[in-house]
Chain A
């Protein structure tokens, strides 16, 4: 017979959150248990990674200019990158996932993906240097595309995943943009704006075309 569970309530998530941050910390920076524990003790657990330094942002913008549709225009691409950064920075690691019909256990979202994505961004620079002897952001579009194709060659799956499930920061950025109502509207050529609250009154009509649809 198993022992009764303790009334852990909120503690379960706190435990998972701590454990996941420790796992990321173990994987990403301190190399020893002592260093990890020191990092934890120094308050690293309370901090989350974020895309905030200029180098990350410059690289992300360069990636955005490369993989987002040119037809969006520079301002819209920059906005898409900015929205992605905000999305990353608002992520709450190991928050409760939606549980509904279908599974009894309560599941939790993954640890913060940003540290790994930051490493992948830096990896683009390393790869660019190896392939073309230049930092990624200084390459022309064709060369950047080659670097990205090489960096993502092992990324599996035909469909764009959800951003959180993306194996590579390039895919995450692309997937985040593609998940927006505006991207969907561009794809279908009309103003459907899925997931946007709007009145029932017009619901029977064929959606109106968007000006930029071709």
Chain B
């Protein structure tokens, strides 16, 4: 490898180029005149012009539309369900589903309201303007739910994705079941907006939108780089932060090119921002251990890598006597927040609820009930008898439920797995807090019973129910650098600034106290924007 060290100077260095980093860079570019450099370990992936072909090959063969969006030797181990190895410009949000709900106000006050978990150092109302900013910057198409369930300061920036024929019938069924459900807020253009197309319901939002109607962070990076407000350095892995042992200030970040040269690179900046997700942000802090900071940086509390949080789900397929035609728009759904805003209750359970059309039980069969091979018109006749229309419908329902993290739900350095530079990779071990361990069976049975009630309300039945992949990990994970007001029990303050290093900030998912019970990306972005606003003021 080359022995030369390239030095790059900037006022603000952002590590990571995912959606949180993109939002922050856009905010900082508008609110400061300071120079901004963003460093990404991976490279740019499939450009928009190639996504139509990439989508076709995904549909035909299951090929990844985002080839080479990772580094083979840079990965996490352990309970990694919910983690993606994507390391590319735009990060995991290059292939997110675009589902963008807000958390509910209760999420920020769990200890105060329910006596479980921890309160956040700020409220939902404090975050509301940053939610709005994230929704504006990303472009969220959303429907205002009932005010008491879905509070917000201003309207969504775009009208909702329309309730289609199938969802309309499912919405009427949900109403009969006593559930208020509406169009899921989505990072997909319901109208042409800011140079991006209107959604064409291609139904491959996850993993790839061929039209650009779904937001991906490359849109933001392209604009920022073109305007020369941001310098984006790709294929460069930051491996260490170095702090002044006397002042605690971060002096520089060091790393190497991930291309064949392996060139050493040094970043000198006034402000350092970790926006590298819930794995790589605490991982970098732990990797940065030295004689002055033997437990890693920002780790006076011993909590770097701790309190990893997420949620699990219960999922069900219901057979209903409805006339549906699966395939109209299978990735769009109805959402309800009425179970996220529960009042005081004897036992703790909060969850979201989503409802989709489904093809389960409606697919063609290879063999009939007697095991005989079905081919030709016999196969088609059998398929027609079950496919949809007047032959009944399948609805999919799923509830993410809140899981409270244990302090020892953690990320550690794993000497059994080293990257090409000899750095230990992270191992994850999610662990529920004792309250969640005690509640889990009851919570999951409550959700199954809810689905049974919903089926009965529609004169239907349960086809099958399943829990999420048990203890392999958790969904929409957060934590590892949790925020709080007390340096003894948190890594960063309520704005994301490290208690131990006044020029180090951790943004988005890793700083979060909890993961709510719904998709998390919009909140990661909003929390990141709140941090960006503090950096801009600092």
Contacts and interface: CB of A to CB of B under 8 A. Distances in A.
Residue in A10, A70, A187 whose Cβ sees the most chain B Cβ within 10 Å: A187
B71 interface: yes
A200 B60 contact: no
Contact of B326 (A66, A192, A197, A204): A192
A97 B64 contact: yes
Residue in A155, A161, A197, A199 whose Cβ sees the most chain B Cβ within 10 Å: A197
Contacts of B64: 95-99
Interface in A158-189: 158-162, 164, 171, 174, 178, 181, 183-184, 186-189
A106 interface: yes
B75 A3 contact: no
A100 B164 contact: no
Interface residues of A, number: 71
B239 to A, nearest CB: 13
Contacts of A200: 161-162, 190, 198-201
A148 B373 contact: yes
Interface in A12-45: 12
Interface in B175-206: 190, 198-204, 206
Residue in B82, B200, B327 whose Cβ sees the most chain A Cβ within 10 Å: B327
A67 B376 contact: yes
Interface stretch (B217-225, B289-297, B364-372, B496-504): B364-372
A187 B73 CA distance: 46
Given A96-B67, A104-B77, A160-B365, A203 B95 contact: no
Contact of B376 (A12, A70, A171): A70
Given A9-B68, A104-B77, A160 B363 contact: yes
Contact of B85 (A6, A106, A159): A106
B126 interface: no
Interface of B: 57-68, 70-73, 75-77, 80-86, 95, 161-165, 168, 190, 198-204, 206-207, 210-211, 258, 260, 262, 325-330, 363-367, 372-373, 375-377, 379-380, 383-384, 387-389, 415-422, 469, 475
6 contacts: A2-B415, A96-B63, A98-B65, A184-B387, A200-B199, A207-B325
Interface of A: 1-10, 12, 66-71, 87, 90-92, 95-106, 109, 145, 148-149, 152, 155, 157-162, 164, 171, 174, 178, 181, 183-184, 186-190, 192-200, 203-207
